[in-house]
Amino acid sequence: MKYAPIANYINGQFVPASTSQTMNVVSPLDGTLLSTVPMSASTDLDAAVAAAKAAFPIWSKTTIKERVQVFFKYKYLLEQHLKELALLCSEENGKTYSESVAEIEKCIELTEFATSLPQLVTGEVLEVSRGVECRTEHVPLGVVASIVPFNFPAMVPNWTLPNAIALGNCMIMKPSEKVPLCCGKIAELLKEAGLPDGVFNIVHGDVAIVNAICDHPGIEAVSFVGSTKVAKIVYQRATQNLKRCLALGGAKNHLIVLPDAKTDMTAQNIIASMSGCAGQRCMAASAMVAVGNVDHIVEKICDEARKVVAGQNLGAVINHESKTRIEQYITEAEQQGAKILVDGRKVVVTGKEAGSYVGPTVIDYVTPDMAIAKEEIFGPVISIIRTNTLDEAITIENANPYGNAASVFTQNGGMARYVIDRASAGMIGVNVGVPVPREPFSFGGWNESKFGVGDITGKSSIEFWTKLKKSTTKWNPEAGVNWMS
């Protein structure tokens, strides 16, 4: 085993879980056993909540200007440890080293946003009647939890932790049991940056610990990022227990391509979107809706796909189970009449035979009723659905139950606006394959891609991680008498 067994992180210390039950952490790159992760018990969560609760009175009363000093230092430490974190991220998740570097760079950008929060949470004050002032303040919630998925071991934890903590909360992080290593390093860096013990805690585990988080009376708010199936469970359970909850789910992102789209740029964007992080991004292109004759673009897409090579510029999918599931979708579509233009099944990387790789796959003449057109694949696969009109394309996009992202490729501004107005998704791209809003814009989808109000990053996250206190004050008894006096 390459690394020591993973421990929970409670009150500034790495501590073993109280159970002996563990799961193996295996690198998708080559099958190396990296570590073991504990399946914690609810008593471990109790200890983490107690530590967070004990830290809250002092941390929440520290001024925000002081709190963000920790994140200036944390940002610097992320920069210093970029290579180490990127290697860890690649090892446990299977993405390429350069994709992992980009992931850590995104963590730095997210932290940079958190350092700007003092400029954004100034509250409001107004003299509402003579001598009477109303004022609002953003007040932290208390102990909050963040449950995260496997596909971004460092970035998704950093969607929530810098903002929630800078805004004065104390946090319990529940990493994905498939990729638990990066969070441990993040904890070390936060401590080195000066974060007081108990403000950030990690409890590892799977279903049982997620349920315990949703049920715990000491936790005020739960953020979740993962599949739609689990997002629904978490949202229902947490809100049933009267907690604030924001649960981001899965996706099926449609890219509409019009005949006037720039051929090379469109093909490059579509292949980068579908194959980046081996297609395991909630913003990945999954279905390309081709309007009219775009054969010249499809041809170029195939050329671009052939430049993407597993084990070189294409990472692994998370495990063998996932590889098998993705390959089954491709085979089923083929059996139902779709045409495989580039086939990524049965890919083996020499020297990394135990890795779980799927090559880039382009499938044409997919019909909207096929499973590959309807379900989230989470692999480097693009399904091309042919339509005659833009309205037909929009109908297909609108019919999918998810709503994370949608893009249109065209040189016509009017057509682009037509799609922006009609696509049923929270994040829209025009000639952009992965339309992730950069900070300070907030990240969040619609429909079955998100349950709860607001978004998870950017300015919108301020509303989620704080509650508003409204005070009405009068210090001037000489002011004129009126209805408020």
Count of other CB atoms within 10 angstroms of residue 27: 22
| Cβ-based nearer residue to ligand NAD, 364 or 455 | 455
Q: Which stretch binds ligand NAD (CB under 6 A): 77-85, 248-256, 344-352, 422-430?
A: 248-256
- CB of 26 closer than 8 Å to CB of 14: no
| Cβ-based nearer residue to ligand NAD, 146 or 466 | 146
Sequence-separated contacts (24+) of 19-25 with Cβ below 8 Å: 19/44, 23/177, 23/206, 25/92, 25/177, 25/178, 25/179, 25/180, 25/181
- CB of 452 closer than 8 Å to CB of 446: no
**CA gap 308, 348 in Å, rounded:** 14
Cα of first residue to Cα of last residue in the chain, in angstroms, is 72
Residues 442-461, mask of contacts with ligand NAD (x by CB under 6 A): ---x---x------------
Rule CB under 6 A: say whether 181 interacts with ligand NAD: no
What CA dihedral angle connects 148, 359, 431 and 338, to 10 degrees?
A: -110
Minimal distance, residue 414 CB to ligand NAD, in Å: 30
**CA gap 299, 267 in Å, rounded:** 9
Helices (H) and strands (E) in the chain, counts: 16, 20
Rule CB under 6 A: say whether 147 interacts with ligand NAD: yes
CA 24 to each of CA 38, 86, 181, 182, 437: distance values in angstroms, whole numbers, following the listed order: 9, 21, 12, 15, 35
What CA dihedral angle connects 68, 71, 72 and 77, to 10 degrees?
A: 160
Binds ligand NAD by CB under 6 A, chosen from 8, 90, 93, 151: 151
Rule CB under 6 A: say whether 45 interacts with ligand NAD: no
| Cβ-based nearer residue to ligand NAD, 283 or 370 | 283
Residues 282-301, mask of contacts with ligand NAD (x by CB under 6 A): x-------------------
Rule CB under 6 A: say whether 236 interacts with ligand NAD: no
Q: Which H/E stretch holds residue 450?
A: strand 450-451
Contact partners, residue 131, CB within 8 Å, separation at least 6: 474, 475, 476, 477, 478, 479, 480, 485
Rule CB under 6 A: say whether 202 interacts with ligand NAD: no
Q: Which stretch binds ligand NAD (CB under 6 A): 87-95, 148-156, 296-304, 464-472?
A: 148-156
Minimal distance, residue 374 CB to ligand NAD, in Å: 14
Residues with a known catalytic role: 282
Rule CB under 6 A: say whether 227 interacts with ligand NAD: yes
Rule CB under 6 A: say whether 166 interacts with ligand NAD: no
Minimal distance, residue 362 CB to ligand NAD, in Å: 21
Binds ligand NAD by CB under 6 A, chosen from 1, 87, 207, 468: 207
Rule CB under 6 A: say whether 248 interacts with ligand NAD: yes
Rule CB under 6 A: say whether 93 interacts with ligand NAD: no
Q: Which stretch binds ligand NAD (CB under 6 A): 13-21, 63-71, 206-214, 324-332?
A: 206-214
| Cβ-based nearer residue to ligand NAD, 304 or 327 | 327
Rule CB under 6 A: say whether 249 interacts with ligand NAD: yes
By CB under 6 A, how many residues form the interface with ligand NAD? 27
Q: In sequence order, what DSSP letters do the residues of 23-58 get, joined into one string?
A: EEEE-TTT--EEEEEE---HHHHHHHHHHHHHHHHH
Rule CB under 6 A: say whether 230 interacts with ligand NAD: yes
**CA gap 261, 263 in Å, rounded:** 6
Minimal distance, residue 443 CB to ligand NAD, in Å: 6
Dihedral sign for Cα atoms in the order 223, 229, 230, 234:
positive
- CB of 403 closer than 8 Å to CB of 447: yes
Minimal distance, residue 152 CB to ligand NAD, in Å: 6
Binds ligand NAD by CB under 6 A, chosen from 44, 177, 364, 455: 177
Residues 406-445 that bind ligand NAD (CB under 6 A): 445
Count of other CB atoms within 10 angstroms of residue 475: 8
Q: Which stretch binds ligand NAD (CB under 6 A): 99-107, 128-136, 142-150, 351-359?
A: 142-150
Residues 380-409 that bind ligand NAD (CB under 6 A): 404
- The residue whose Cβ lies closest to ligand NAD is 226
Rule CB under 6 A: say whether 323 interacts with ligand NAD: no
CA 232 to each of CA 104, 267, 403, 448, 485: distance values in angstroms, whole numbers, following the listed order: 29, 35, 15, 9, 48
The amino acid sitting at 332 is: E
Rule CB under 6 A: say whether 38 interacts with ligand NAD: no
**CA gap 481, 485 in Å, rounded:** 6
**CA gap 240, 263 in Å, rounded:** 50
Binding site for ligand NAD (CB under 6 A): 147-151, 156, 174, 176-177, 206-207, 210, 225-227, 230, 233, 248-251, 282, 376, 378, 404, 445, 449
